[in-house]
Amino acid sequence: MPPRIRVIPAILTDDPAKLAAMARQAEGYAGYVQLDIMDGRFVPSHSVTCQQAAAVFLEIPWEVHLMVEKPEQQLECFKQAGARKVIFHYEATDSAGEVISQARHLGLGVGLAVNPETPVSAVLPLLEVDSVLFLAVHPGFYGARFLPEVLGKIAELKSARPDMEIGIDGGVKENNIKLVAGSGVNDIYVGSAIFLDSQPAEAFRRLQTLANEAV
């Protein structure tokens, strides 16, 4: 039986060689991964590009989290690269509805990411998406401090849209994953607590076990 809550490894790097190594590693223990893409404008940091990501063939299903300006310009590339789903930021565009429509036209799943300071009320009119991803950190860096107040937004969205798939990303570690898992989320995205551990596969399994224990 699949877990009620999924822990999803989130791959973030600016080095194509490390991307390939992290991807091969994750294939050994996870059934699904997320690739984080940053442009140095919407967030301060850079990551690998879509073209570099496309050169790394993933054996397992994956999605992309676009922390970029003008996300619509990257949809076609990531579709061709093999992404199943694209998650883009509400704050990154004035035309979120158009981005959603373009993603649908390409046959991509689509999710909406929300920064910590953005109220749930701002995104309620745009919930013709597959999921909402709440950022529990200010995005762009591995290892940023978890913002527990974001958990209240999960409850707020669940109240308004009980059927919506909800994810949380940022700052989740062994010492807080039970709290996060008990908030009503479906997916918990974890980067540094997996990939910076000396034994990433074991770290992933511990986190999944802890999440399962909370529900």
- Domain map (residue ranges) of the chain: 6-213
Catalytic-role residue among 39, 130, 169, 187: 169
pLDDT for 138 equals 85
Catalytic-role residue among 14, 36, 94, 187: 36
pLDDT at 203 over 70: yes
Contact present, 100 and 79 (Cβ < 8 Å): no
How far is CA 154 from each of CA 93, 119, 146, 185, 193, rounded to the nearest angstrom? 22, 11, 15, 7, 22
pLDDT for 1 equals 43
pLDDT digits (tens, 9 = 90+) for 171-202: 999 999 999 999 999 999 999 999 999 999 99
Which residues, including other chains, have CB under 8 Å from residue 116's CB and lie 6 or more apart? Answer: 134, 135, 136, 137, 138, 147, 149, 150
Please give the model's pTM, rounded to 2 decimal places. 0.95
Would you state the CATH architecture of domain 6-213?
A: Alpha-Beta Barrel (3.20)
Q: Determine whether 169 is an active site residue.
A: yes
Q: Mean pLDDT over residues 126-135, rounded?
A: 94
In angstroms and rounded to an integer, the radius of gyration of the C-alpha atoms of the chain is 16
Higher pLDDT, 7 or 4: 7
Contact present, 140 and 44 (Cβ < 8 Å): yes
> Quick one: DSSP state of residue 143?
T
